[in-house]
Chain A
Amino acid sequence: MKNLLILGAGTAGTTLVNKLRPKLDRGEWRITIVDSDPDHHYQPGYLFIPFGTYAPDEVIKSKRDFIPDGVDYVEASIERVEPERRVVVLADGAELPYDYLVIATGTHPRPNETPGLAGKDYGRTIHDFYTLEGATALAAALDGFRGGKLVVNIIELPIKCPVAPLEFCFLADDYFRAKGIGDQIDITYVTPLDGAFTKPIASAHLGTMLNERGIGLEADFYLERVDAERRVLVSYDEREVPYDLLVTVPVNMGADFVAKSGLGDELNHMRVDPYTFQSDDHPDIFALGDAANLPTSKAGSVAHFSVDVFTDNFLSQIAGRPMTERFDGHANCFIESGNGKALLIDFNYDTEPLPGKYPYPVVGPFTLLKENRLNHWGKLAFRSIYWNFLLPGRPIPVPTEMPMAGKEIAAT
């Protein structure tokens, strides 16, 4: 009996076991998945909780409900991986052997990584919406906020869902205008990037969106510390941004066991081949989802497309054939822009977000790089697709590889 061991039952891990179990002989392959948290969160829903669009319980389901028959689900914390012995050691000392290991434990916000951030003001004047608790506490804070400086800040990249902080700015602007106090609130977006977006065509299409809404942009801002006393962000080069209410995205890091095992980069993300997800150091270890260090965004769509590619490659690998499928870095993101509208961007390792139609030329139905109501509906409808199609591994009529077909390429 061979062992396929998956660490993490989030988007990537859960989708993977659902896709692989039917394709692996039960007499030959044991599939085990490990996670310490019994709840599966629909993380894209966190963005809507501070504004009262979703209640916290609307983004939670039980992880076990999505694990298929024939897969062993182990609820436990992971202590470390021992690659030489091909064993994972759990917190209680139990050992799980593997022939192949998939690390899919994601990435998480770490407020303690930034001086001055985690302290008595966290949850009062300093908030995040990258956890369910954070988003819930923020709902109360926004409700009570009557005027002043609202600063939305990314501390360091990469983060999962890199467009979410921008979406937060657009939705916050809407939220306060709807309450009639839009003019009393000054929103500033503070980022270490050199602009709101890094890719030129998307920047041109979207660069005016912050401007149009009177949202300030402070770029090239690398936060060194938060002076919670004075309510000021201080950068490494001594620039200061004052705030009355700070909504920050703490440094995102992979699981601690990755570092304890001598794996991962400086942020505990696994260094893998960007096309096959295979570990640079151990050919029987792979990483999927946010846990992997890939040169594309950390996003649910990337996890989804990665699992498609990995599934095919894994079946080749165990049959002694070469892994010929290559992940192209395909990612897509709906970007909430307020007023019941959203944009959609679709890109990969080689191609920046381009305008056009998605996923099919002419018929779309979604429009790229343009605010409209259908895109917003698509974002909201996705929650149901996530629970009912994506996680259970059912086919979704969207191409794994980024389609060029519907895209408009500027004439040269």
Chain B
Amino acid sequence: MTVTAIASKEVHVDDEGFLTEYDEWDEKLAVELARNIGIDEMTDAHRATINFLRSDYAEQGTTATLRRVSTVGQIPTKQLFALFPKKPAKKMAYVAGLPKPVGCV
């Protein structure tokens, strides 16, 4: 785990650049994180998704799967692919300052 500066703020990140401290995230950071992965503009739809992920994480203790975001978060999977192209699960977690969802070996 290392400390790095994103948008002039010092944050703790893992070796892939995912934030490791839930409380170090803020909206301004999110804009910068999004830009880092090619999302130049955060729309309301992006923000709604990130907000769901963060509040769900606070309750559940794990990052929601795509299935959970669509069934519980009510955001259709197709839209998630439009907002966070190609790798939505990983990208959403990154922008939301949450751990990458658990993959399988």
Residues of A within 8 A of B105 (CB): 162-163, 197-199, 202, 296-297, 331, 345, 347, 352-353
Known: A220-B86, A265-B68. A236 touches B104 (CB 8 A): no
Query: Is the CB of A156 closer than 8 A to any CB of chain B?
Result: yes
Chain B residue with Cβ nearest A154: B104
On whether the beta carbons of B104 and A222 are closer than 8 Å, the reply is no
Does B66 reach chain A (CB closer than 8 Å)? yes
**A220-B81 in contact given A197-B105, A267-B67, A331-B105 (Cβ < 8 Å):** no
A217 within 8 A of B: no
Asked if B104 and A297 sit within 8 Å, CB to CB, the answer is: yes
A222 x B81 contact (CB < 8 A): yes
| A360 smallest CB distance to B (angstroms) | 22
- Cβ contact within 8 Å between B86 and A158: no
A295 CB-CB contact with B under 8 Å: yes
- Picked from B68, B77, B87, B103, the residue with its CB within 8 Å of the CB of A266 is B68
A224 to B104, CA, bound (A): 20
Q: Which residues of B contact A220 (CB under 8 A)?
A: 86-87
For chain A, which range describes its interface: under 10, 10 to 19, 20 to 34, or 35 or more residues? 20 to 34
Complex contacts, A194 vs chain B, CB 8 Å: 87, 90
Q: Does A157 make an interface contact (CB < 8 A)?
A: yes
Is there a chain A Cβ closer than 8 Å to B28's Cβ? no
Q: Compute how far the CA of A159 lies from the CA of B103 in the bound complex, rounded to whole angstroms.
A: 11
Contact in complex: A162, B66 (CB < 8 Å)? no
Given contacts A266-B72, A345-B105, A353-B105, contact A236 B81 (CB under 8 A): yes
Q: Interface of chain A, helix or strand or loop or mixed?
A: loop
A224 to B81, CA, bound (A): 11
Set of chain B residues within 8 Å of A323, measured between Cβ atoms: none
Interface residues of B in 57-105 (CB under 8 A from A): 65-68, 71-72, 77-78, 80-82, 85-87, 90, 102-105
Q: Is the CB of B77 within 8 A of A236?
A: yes
Question: What are the residues of chain B within 8 A of A156 when measuring CB–CB?
Answer: 67
Bound Cα distance from A174 to B76, whole angstroms:
40
In the complex the two chains form, is A295's CB within 8 Å of B102's CB? yes
B82 neighbours in A (Cβ, 8 Å): 237
Q: Is the CB of B77 within 8 A of A198?
A: no
Which residues of chain B have C-beta atoms less than 8 A from A331's C-beta? 105
B71 nearest in chain A by CB position:
A266
Chain A 258-289 interface 0/1 with B at a Cβ cutoff of 8 Å (1 = within): 00000001110000000000000000000000
Give the docked Cα–Cα distance between A237 and B86 (Å): 7
Residues of B within 8 A of A296 (CB): 105
Q: List, in ascending order, chain B residues with CB within 8 A of A347's CB.
A: 105
* Beta-carbon contact of A157 and B103 below 8 Å: yes
Q: Report the bound CA distance from A202 to B71 in whole Å.
A: 33
B71: chain A residues at CB < 8 Å are 266
Q: How far is the CA of A194 from the CA of B103 in the complex (A)?
A: 10
Residue A232 is within 8 A (CB to CB) of chain B in the complex:
no
Contacts of B90 in A (CB 8 A): 194
Say yes or no for A193: interface residue by CB 8 A criterion.
Answer: yes
Complex alpha-carbon distance, A248 and B57, angstroms = 32
Q: Are B102 and A236 in contact (CB under 8 A)?
A: no
Q: How far is the CA of A200 from the CA of B35 in the complex (A)?
A: 26
A323-B60 Cα distance, complex, nearest whole Å: 23
Q: Which residues of B contact A353 (CB under 8 A)?
A: 105
Nearest CB in chain A: distance from B79 CB, A: 9
Whether the Cβ atoms of A198 and B103 lie closer than 8 Å is yes
Taking CB atoms and an 8 Å cut-off, the chain A residues in 292-329 that contact chain B are 295-297
Kindly list chain A residues whose C-beta atoms are within 8 Å of the C-beta of B68. Answer: 265-266
Which residues from B are CB-within-8-Å of A159?
Answer: 104
Chain A CB within 10 A, most for which of B66, B71, B104: B104
Chain B residue contacts of A297, Cβ below 8 A:
104-105
Known contacts A194-B87, A237-B86: does B103 contact A222 (CB below 8 Å)? no
Question: Which B-chain residue is minimally distant from A293 (CB atoms)?
Answer: B62
Task: Assess whether B104 is in contact with A198, with CB atoms less than 8 Å apart.
Answer: yes
Set of chain A residues within 8 Å of B78, measured between Cβ atoms: 224, 236
* Residues of A near any B CB (own CB < 8 A): 156-159, 162-163, 193-194, 197-199, 202, 220, 222, 224, 236-237, 265-267, 295-297, 331, 345, 347, 352-353
A sample of 16 more A-B contacts (CB under 8 A), given A157-B104, A237-B85, is A162-B105, A193-B103, A193-B104, A194-B90, A197-B105, A198-B103, A220-B87, A222-B66, A224-B78, A237-B81, A266-B68, A295-B102, A296-B105, A297-B105, A347-B105, A352-B105
16 contacts between A and B (CB under 8 A): A156-B67, A158-B104, A162-B104, A163-B105, A193-B103, A193-B104, A197-B105, A224-B77, A236-B78, A237-B86, A266-B65, A266-B67, A266-B71, A296-B105, A331-B105, A345-B105
